[in-house]
């Protein structure tokens, strides 16, 4: 990889050759992939991008893959970025865009990391990939691996929503539902990976994953014609996504594609916000209980805390925590105002934006991109809880009229 220098530990600074099976530093620190931006600046232009396929692989000069590594089979990336003027008006914001990453092939942003894992496993000559996950890393890995003809072993906590488990079974993974927390699930997967030597797609352990995730911010900037918004808001669990988003932005800045950097808005659930608490108090992060219905961000022991905290701080970012009620309200709002259906963790970023508008932190002078990270069909039970049940009557016009009258529905 001529464009990649090495993997560098974010804790001690030690560097490692960027081999496909790279994991963490000897000191336990997470590695960051370091690029040769001078080289990339000579090989990648905005013009060149215009002719490329609409997948995450269009940015291959900024991705840690060999020149001859084939793109993975499923169409990952290039999800729509919708401008939402009515919702912006309603919230009192200058401009608002929604990046609907629930439109990836297995319906979450995690496809970006899993496609990268599949590409790197191919480079490593591996036949089997494994991970633990709150659900979406698992289903995206199972789907992207199935398409590439690879086997998967998946560990999920037993609380994982049915839609995600159904995806895993459909994609032919060997699935272990662990009766315990995400932390317990992670530890069992780690022991199994150590024992059988599978290719490791565990969050943060594998430094290539957030390089896949960063393609979401590369896309946002290209879709905005390289005009930088004031803020990018998203939900945070392990912290890999927000670290990836920041990495993508810094890449673009380093090669001169953008001339400034936006600030990040890190949104967590009140019942599980170890990273936001660390930022707010200035103290080191400490584990928390996993007490939220937003299962994808119910992460009490964040795996990528170092990189995530660095990203938020470097960007001059904001942190905001939202209640489960506020998450459910955002689910309804995004659905009804924008036609975008997100899972609870998927809409948590937007819930944070709404809250910051209500607090007067954000306003008419601000432009914001809010990333919806996962699709609502993955967790139908919570969507019904948030948005209610339909009118249920026998097929009778009189009963329909009465039902409308009872509910004060005036037909236009």
Binding site for pyridoxal 5'-phosphate, residues? 136, 373
Interface with ligand PLP includes 297 (CB under 6 A)?
Answer: yes
Sign of torsion, CA 386 87 326 340? positive
Nearer to ligand PLP, 238 or 366 (CB): 238
Nearer to ligand PLP, 262 or 352 (CB): 352
Interface with ligand PLP includes 373 (CB under 6 A)?
Answer: yes
- Applying the rule CB under 6 A, the residues between 4 and 33 that interact with ligand PLP are none
State the minimum distance, in angstroms, from the CB of residue 75 to ligand PLP.
19
Q: Of the listed pieces 24-32, 55-63, 181-189, 340-348, which binds ligand PLP according to CB under 6 A?
A: 340-348
- Applying the rule CB under 5 A, the residues between 12 and 31 that interact with Zn ion are 12, 14, 25, 27, 29
Q: Of the listed pieces 92-100, 215-223, 339-347, 359-367, which binds ligand PLP according to CB under 6 A?
A: 339-347
* Strand, helix or coil for residue 280: helix
Q: Cβ neighbours of residue 288 under 8 Å, at least 6 residues apart?
A: 272, 273, 274, 277, 300
Interface with ligand PLP includes 63 (CB under 6 A)?
Answer: no
- Let me know: does 283 contact 271? Beta carbons within 8 Å: no
Q: Which of 32-42 are b and which e, b meaning 16 or more Cβ less than 10 Å from the residue's Cβ?
A: bbebebeebee
Phi, psi (degrees; rounded to nearest 5) at 89:
-60, -50
- Applying the rule CB under 6 A, the residues between 89 and 128 that interact with ligand PLP are 108, 110
Tokens 């600074």 map to which residue?
13
Rounded Cα gap, residues 401 and 390, in angstroms = 15
State the minimum distance, in angstroms, from the CB of residue 9 to Zn ion.
3
220 binds, among ligand PLP, Zn ion, none (CB under 5 to 8 A by kind): none
State the minimum distance, in angstroms, from the CB of residue 208 to Zn ion.
17
State the minimum distance, in angstroms, from the CB of residue 342 to ligand PLP.
8
Binding residue positions: 136, 373
DSSP conformation letters of 112-132: HHHHHHHHHHHHHT-SEEEEE
* Strand, helix or coil for residue 97: strand
Tokens 């009778």 map to which residue?
396
Strand partners, 367: 95
- Binding footprint of Zn ion, residue count (CB under 5 A): 7
Rounded Cα gap, residues 288 and 273, in angstroms = 7
Nearer to ligand PLP, 75 or 213 (CB): 213
Phi, psi (degrees; rounded to nearest 5) at 164:
-70, -40
Q: How far apart, in Å, do the first and last CA atoms of the chain sit? A: 62
Contacts with Zn ion by CB under 5 A lie at: 9, 11-12, 14, 25, 27, 29
Residues that bind ligand PLP (CB under 6 A): 108, 110, 136, 235-241, 296-297, 299, 343, 345-346, 373-374
């Amino acid at each position: 990889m001529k464009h990649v220098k090495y993997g560098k530990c974010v804790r001690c600074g030690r560097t490692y050759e960027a081999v496909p099976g790279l994991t963490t530093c000897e000191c336990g620190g997470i590695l960051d992939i370091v690029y040769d931006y001078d080289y990339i600046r000579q090989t990648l232009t905005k013009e060149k991008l215009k002719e490329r396929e609409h997948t995450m692989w269009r940015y291959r000069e900024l991705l840690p893959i060999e020149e001859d590594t084939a793109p993975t089979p499923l169409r990952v990336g290039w999800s729509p970025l919708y401008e939402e003027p009515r919702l912006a008006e309603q919230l009192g914001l200058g401009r608002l865009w929604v990046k609907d990453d629930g439109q990836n092939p297995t319906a979450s942003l995690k496809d970006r990391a899993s496609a990268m894992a599949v590409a790197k496993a191919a480079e490593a000559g591996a036949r089997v990939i494994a991970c633990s996950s709150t659900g979406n890393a698992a289903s995206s890995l199972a789907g992207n691996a199935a398409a590439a003809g690879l086997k998967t072993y998946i560990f999920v906590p037993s609380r994982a929503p049915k839609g995600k488990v159904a995806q895993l079974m459909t994609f032919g993974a060997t699935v272990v539902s662990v009766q315990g927390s995400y932390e317990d699930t992670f530890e069992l997967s780690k022991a199994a990976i150590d024992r059988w030597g599978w290719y490791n797609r565990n969050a943060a352990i594998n430094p290539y994953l957030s390089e896949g995730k960063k393609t979401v911010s590369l896309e946002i900037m290209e879709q905005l014609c390289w005009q930088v918004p004031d803020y990018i808001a998203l939900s945070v669990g392990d912290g890999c996504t927000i670290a990836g988003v920041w990495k993508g932005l810094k890449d673009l800045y380093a090669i001169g594609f953008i001339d400034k950097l936006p600030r990040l808005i890190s949104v967590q659930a009140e019942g599980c916000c170890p990273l936001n608490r660390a930022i707010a108090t200035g103290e080191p992060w400490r584990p928390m209980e996993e007490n939220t219905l937003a299962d994808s961000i119910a992460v009490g022991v964040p795996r990528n805390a170092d990189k995530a905290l660095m990203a938020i701080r470097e960007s001059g970012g904001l942190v905001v925590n939202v209640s489960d009620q506020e998450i459910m309200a955002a689910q309804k709002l995004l659905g009804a105002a924008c036609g975008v259906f997100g899972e609870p963790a998927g809409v948590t970023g937007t819930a944070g934006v709404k809250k910051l508008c209500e607090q007067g932190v954000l306003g008419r002078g601000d432009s914001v991109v809010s990333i919806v990270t996962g699709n609502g069909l993955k967790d139908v039970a919570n969507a019904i809880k948030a948005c209610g049940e339909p009118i249920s009557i026998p097929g009778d016009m009189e009963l329909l009229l009465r039902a409308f009258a009872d509910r004060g529905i005036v037909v236009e």
